[in-house]
Amino acid sequence: MVADEQDPRRRIPRTDQLLGHPQVRAAGEAMSERVVRGIVRAAQDRARRGDIPPEQVLEEILAAVGERPAGSLRPVLNATGVIVHTNLGRAPLSEVARRAVSDAAGYTDVEFDLATGARSRRGAGARAALLAACPQAEDALVVNNGAAALVLATTALAGTGEVVLSRGEMIEIGAGFRLPDLIASAGAQLREVGTTNRTHLADYTDALGANTGCVLSIHTSNYRIIGFTSSVPIAQLAPVCREAGVPLVADLGSGLLQPEQALPEEPDAGTALREGADLVIASGDKLLGGPQAGILLGKREIIARLARHPLARAVRADKLALAAVEATLTGPTPPVLAALRTDPRQLRARTEQVAARLGAPVVEHDGRVGGGGGAEVPLPGWAIQLEEQLATALRSADPAVVGTVKDGACLLDLRCVPQAQDDTLTQAVIAARERLAGAPGPGAHSRAGAEPTTGEEQE
C-alpha cells in the first residue's frame, strides 16, 4: 500500500484539472475540445510510461497547444526559381485575391440577387471578369480544376461517342494521371489519329464521322517533340471541324488568356478562340496566377451545353475559388506574372544584397515556369550559393525555405520570394547555420543531394 502511494503516476494531474487550467483554455481557443483532449491524454500517457515526470505534463500540453497550427499546411518561401511549383501549391494568390477569399469565407451572395431577393447565376462576378480579360469568348464557366474541365467538356460534347485526338497529344501529367484515361473514364471513346511525331490535317478529316462528338487539341505543355515532326494548328483544324459540324476543343493548360511577351511560344485562350476554337480549357492556378480552377471559355451555346450537363454540378467551383478568380483578374499583376517578368538585372542586384549579408557568392541560375508551362524555356537569373547541408535545415525553418540542390550546393533563387521577405530568408539562413554549427557530428544531418533538383513534378 505504501509502494502504491509512492507511485509517481499518482501525481499526474487529472484530465478535468488540465482542461480547466486557464492557460490551456486560452491556448486552445483555436482548437476543438476533442483535439485538446487528445493532446492532454497524449501528455498523460507519456507520464504514465515514464517518458516525462508528472510535473512536466502541464508544460508539455501548453507547448503542444501553443505551437499547433489550425491546419497542417506550412508556409514556404519558394527559393527554387520555379514559378508555378506544383508541389508547393502552384500559383500564390495576390493580396487582393487573399482578401477576396477572406471576405467570401462567410455567408455571401454567391447565388443570390440582393436587389430582388431572388436566386441568381452562380459566379457571375468571375464570369464577367473572365469575359473582360478574354473578349474573344462569348461565355465562360469555372469548375474546380483543369482535369474536371476536360472531363466535363468531352463528356458533354461527345457522350459515349468519339473524341478525336492526335497520338502525339496523349499526355501523362503528374502523379501518373493520363489524360486519355481521364476522358475515357466518363464513357467517351478515343479515336487516335496520326503518329507520335507526325499528325496531318488529312488524319483528322479521315476520322470525322457521324459518331464524332468533338475534336480535341491538347497543348503538349510539359514536354516537347523535336526533329521530324508535324502537327496541325488550330487555324487549320477549325475550318474542317466547322464544315463537319463538330466542336473543336483546345486544352491549353497553362492559363494564359492573352499573348505573353515573356513566353512568345506559349498558346493563349484569346488567340485560340480567334483562330477558330469553339471551346478553350485552361487552369486557374498556373499562368493565370489564381486559385485552383478549371476555366472554360468559348461559344455561348457550347458553354450553355456544358453548364446544363449533370456532371457540371459535381465539378462546380466553390465560392472561395470564384472570389479568388475574380480578384486575380480585376486586381494588379499577380505574383506569378510578376515573377515571370522579373528583370534579371534587378534580380541580380537584389540577390547580391542578400548574399553580401550572408557572405555567400552569387551564381547564374535559370528559373522555370513550372506546372507544365513554358516547357524547356529558361528564365535567366541569379541565385545565392550556400553550403549543400543547409538545404535540410532550411526546410525545417519557420517559414520553411525550399531551395535547389545542385552540384554540391544549395541554391536560393529569389525570383519567387517576395522582396518583403528578404530579411526573413536571411535570418532563416543565419539560424540554420547556427543550428548546424552546434549539431553533433557530420552524420547528424542527412544529405540533401538525394532530393530532386527543384522538387517539382511537372504537370
Helix pair 146-158, 300-308: axis angle to 10 deg: 100
Mean pLDDT value across the chain: 91
248 and 150 part of one domain: yes
pLDDT of 450 over the 50 cut: no
Residue 172 is given by DSSP the state: B
Residues 356 and 214 in one domain: no
* Domain stops at, among 285, 310, 331: 331
Question: Do 321 and 360 belong together in one domain?
Answer: no
Give the model's confidence band at 69: pLDDT under 50 very low, under 70 low, under 90 confident, else very high: low
DSSP conformational letter for 92: P
Please report whether residue 443 resides in a domain: yes
Q: Based on the domain organization, do 109 and 155 belong to the same domain?
A: yes
Strand segments (E) across 135-267 = 139-143, 162-166, 189-193, 212-218, 248-253
CA distance 145 to 290: 11
457 domain residue, yes or no: no
Q: 27 and 119: one domain?
A: no
Classify residue 458: in a domain, yes or no. Answer: no
pLDDT at 127: 97
Given 314, 331, 348, the domain boundary residue is 331
157 domain-assigned: yes
Quote the cell numbers at residue 388. Answer: 549543400
pLDDT range class, residue 442, cuts 50, 70, 90: very low
pLDDT on residue 3: 46
- pTM value is 0.85
pLDDT at 77: 98
> Do 343 and 412 reside in the same domain of the chain?
yes
**What is the share, in percent, of the chain residues with pLDDT greater than 70?**
93
- Distance of alpha carbon 301 from alpha carbon 182, whole angstroms: 24
Q: Are residues 113 and 53 part of one domain?
A: no
The contacts of residue 90 (CB under 8 Å, 6+ apart) are: 84, 285, 286, 292, 371
Q: pLDDT of 20-60, one tens digit each?
A: 998 888 877 778 888 889 999 999 999 999 999 999 999 89
- pLDDT tens digits, one per residue of 200-258: 999 999 999 999 999 999 998 777 888 999 999 999 999 999 999 999 999 997 889 99
Domain assignment present for residue 80? The answer is yes
Average of pLDDT values for 93-107? 97
Rg (CA), the chain: 27
Q: According to the model, what pLDDT value does residue 67 have?
A: 64
Q: How many domains does the chain have?
A: 3
Q: What is the CATH number of the domain that holds 250?
A: 3.40.640.10
Domain that holds residue 30: 2-66
Same domain, 237 and 300: yes
Report d(CA 89, CA 266) in Å as an integer: 22
Within a domain: 456: no
The answer to whether the peptide bond before residue 264 is cis (omega within 30 degrees of 0) is no
pLDDT range class, residue 457, cuts 50, 70, 90: low
Query: pLDDT category, 456, cuts 50, 70, 90?
Result: low
166 and 313, same domain (yes or no): yes
| Residue range 177-198: mean pLDDT, rounded | 93
310 and 362 both lie in a single domain: no
Residue 180, C-alpha cell as written in the block: 486519355
Cα(181)–Cα(246) distance, integer angstroms = 22
pLDDT in tens, 164-176: 999 999 988 877 7
pLDDT band at 93 (very low <50, low <70, confident <90, very high): very high
Last residue of a domain, one of 302, 331, 360: 331
Contact (CB, 8 A) for 282 and 253: yes
Q: What is the 8-class DSSP label of residue 87?
A: G
Model confidence over 315-354: pLDDT tens digits? 999 999 999 999 999 999 999 999 999 999 999 999 999 9
Q: Please give the sequence-ordered ranges of beta strands (E in DSSP) within 88-201, or none if there are none.
A: 139-143, 162-166, 189-193
Q: How far apart are CA 349 and CA 345, in angstroms?
A: 6
Q: For residue 189, what is its C-alpha cell? A: 471513346
Residue 16 lies in a domain: yes
- Give yes or no: residues 60 and 119 share one domain: no
Task: Round to whole Å and give the CA distance between 119 and 405.
Answer: 53
